[in-house]
Amino acid sequence: MIFGLDDKVNSENGDRDVVLATVAGAAYDYTSKYPQRWLIFAGSDEARTRLYRMDITKNYGELSESFYIFRFIFENGLPVSVPFDSNTRFDGLLVKRKL
């Protein structure tokens, strides 16, 4: 039997905060091991990317102590990094561990 993964399913089981904490934990773990590397991530759709924005906004003070945080937007088909702004839509996030 082959199992598939669908990251667009909304289970509505109330685990949103658990999922976001898992992503944050993975970012901490990965950048602890590879502090020179940048992480780029986004939600599977605009609504989920918005959830990342809301969660980062809520925890920005703590997160910005450990990470450089940028958002990226596509301009003319190319990603452009810009400073994080909690009031502005973006296509994804770029983060890097502060040394």
Q: What are the φ and ψ backbone dihedral angles of 19, each rounded to 5 degrees?
A: -65, -45
Q: What is the pLDDT of residue 62?
A: 92
**Beta partners for residue 97, in sequence order:** 67
Q: Is position 15 within any domain? A: no
DSSP 68-89: EEEEEEEETTEEEEEE--TTS-
Tens of pLDDT, residues 7-54: 566 666 667 778 778 888 899 999 999 999 999 988 888 888 888 898
Q: Per-residue pLDDT for 70 more than 80?
A: yes
pLDDT value of residue 20: 78
Name the pairing type of β-strands 67-75 and 92-97: antiparallel
Residue 71 domain-assigned (yes or no): yes
Write the DSSP symbol of residue 33. Answer: H
**Domain assignment of residue 83, yes or no:** yes
Owning domain of residue 85: 35-97
Count up the domains in the chain and report the number.
1
Q: Is residue 72 part of a domain?
A: yes
